[in-house]
Structure formats: structure tokens, C-alpha cells
Amino acid sequence: MANYLITVIGATAIGKTALSIKLAKHFKTEIISCDSRQFYKEMTIGTAVPSSDELAAAKHHFIQNRSIFEDYSVGQFEKDALQKLTKLFAKNAIVVMVGGSGLYTNAVINGLDYFPEVSPEIRIKLNKQIENGEISLLQNKLKELDPESYYNIEIENPHRLIRALEICIGTGKTYSEFKNKPKEIRNFIPIKIGISAPRDIMYKRINQRVDIMIQEGLLEEAKLLYKHKNLNALQTVGYRELFNYFDGNCTLDFAIEEIKKNTRRFAKRQVTWNKKDENINWFDFQEDSEKIINKIEALINIE
């Protein structure tokens, strides 16, 4: 019998956690979380970690299993998640995966492109050029070294531009040469379930969630983490804006509105990312879970 990974996809605050628990209970299985900020045990309120009741309703993996003081990459998560899935599939042919981090979801389902290590000094130098306003110079450099990447990546995005250039400079090969190579075959069939809502409803839910986070003590949680504000894990919506408030750069009300605004922007990017995937089976966020379960069972029977 084949193994199936049911993946619940959708924008933040749309109801993924509740649906994933219903699916896990129905199929008597466990949940892999691939929310890249819920990994960290020091970040609870601001990352909307499932409640104790939700965690008790179905067994979750990769929830608050790391510290903000650890470096944890998407590549490491891919390896850890695949190892965990092998163990879970030995007990049950169906496993549920949930999370808002599209890159992490994609890493588990499809695999990552792997690149050789290059000297960190290259990135430092490129970052300095970005800081000095030399992005157009770097874009032209990429066009010279790797025209294929120049025309296919977001060259206005400094992170993506630097990533492509550091590989070109550090290896003497093009970034595009390392992209889209054959990846390790997965031992499961993915079934992607997407939850959607009209934009106004999605934004209203986000605003309400932020208000609840503030009521539950996000401000106090952020204060405890403030001294570590430069850590990579804390470059996160919900904390970054409050750190700016602690720095005296804005009022608390302004910081809270910025959290809402930036979360809405994040949700919009999630929607854009997910729209590119033609293999997602979409349902309205108010859809009865029984209908979703029936669809999943039909897909399994077809397979």
C-alpha cells in the first residue's frame, strides 16, 4: 500500500491547525509541522503555537523543538522531516503535514536544490555593495556571469541576487547549473489541501489574531526576547515591530498596526506562492471537514 502525505496549505490565520487536527484524528495519525517559526521554544504567542488542548488532540512533531540560539536551516529541516516521516509511515500509511512556510513544505514534498559551500567573505562583500546602493552594478554582474539566472530570478530581491552571485563567484560555475537537478525520490504520494477565504475576511481574521496575541501577552514575551533581537529567528513579524517600539522609534499603537499590516502582507505573499501550485485541492475556510475528508479518501482510492 502506498504512503500518503496530506498537506494542509493556506495563509496565516485561515484555520490550518484546526483542520489538520480533524484530519489527524479521522485518519488516526500524527502531524508534521513545517511552520518555520513554531520550531522555537522561546517563541509561543507571536508564532501562534497550537494550544495545549490542540497539541493533546493529535500528536505534533517539530513544534518548539529548537532554541532561537540554534541555527536551523530549511535543508536541515528537510532531512529531519524525512527521517520522521519514515518512522511514522512504518505505523500508518497516512501522515498529515501543516504549516504556512511554503519553502519548508516544498522542501519536504519535492526536495531542495543543493549548492556547494562558498566563502562567507563573498556574501559579506556583496552585502556591503547592496548597503552602498550598488544593486544595479550587481545585477549587471549577474547578467554577465549567469544570463539564465538574471532573466529567471527576482533580481530586485537583494537576498536572491546575492545568493545567485555568491555561487557564481565562489564556484566559477553558474547558479543555474545547480538548479533543478534530479532529487531524491520520495516514498509517499502528496495530497495537498488548500484553505482559502475572501481577502477581506482573511485580513479581518489576521487583525483579530493580532489583537488576541496582544491580550495574551505578546508584549511581555517580546520584552523577554528583546536583548536577543539580532538573532535570525527573531527577524519575524510580531517581534520585529515591538523591538522597534522598545527602541523608542514608534508608539505601541503604531507597532501593533505595523504587525497587522506586515502580517497581511505576509499572507498575501503566501496566497501568491500557493496560486502557482496547480496540484492543490482548494476548499473554502468554512467548508465542512467531512467533505474534505471525502475528497481525500476519493483521491487515495483513485491512486
Secondary structure (DSSP) of the chain: ---EEEEEEE-TTSSHHHHHHHHHHHTT--EEE--TTTTBTT--TTTTPPPHHHHHHS-EESSS-B-TTS---HHHHHHHHHHHHHHHHTT-SEEEEE-S-HHHHHHHHH---------HHHHHHHHHHHHTT-HHHHHHHHHHH-HHHHHHS-TTSHHHHHHHHHHHHHHSS-HHHHTT---PPPSSEEEEEEEE--HHHHHHHHHHHHHHHHHHTHHHHHHHHGGGTTSGGG-STTTHHHHHHHTTSS-HHHHHHHHHHHHHHHHHHHHHHHHT-TTEEEEETT--HHHHHHHHHHHHHH-
Are 239 and 48 in contact by the 8 Å Cβ rule? The answer is no
DSSP category for residue 27:
T
16 labelled ligand-binding: yes
10 labelled ligand-binding: yes
Are 302 and 281 in contact by the 8 Å Cβ rule? The answer is no
Provide the sign of the torsion angle of the four alpha carbons 171, 172, 173, 175, taken in this order. positive
12 labelled ligand-binding: yes
Are 98 and 71 in contact by the 8 Å Cβ rule? The answer is no
Amino acid at 3: N
Are 81 and 256 in contact by the 8 Å Cβ rule? The answer is no
13 labelled ligand-binding: yes
Q: Which residues are annotated as part of the binding site for ATP? A: 10-17
Q: Which residues are annotated as part of the binding site for substrate? A: 12-17
Q: Which residues are annotated as part of the binding site? A: 10-17
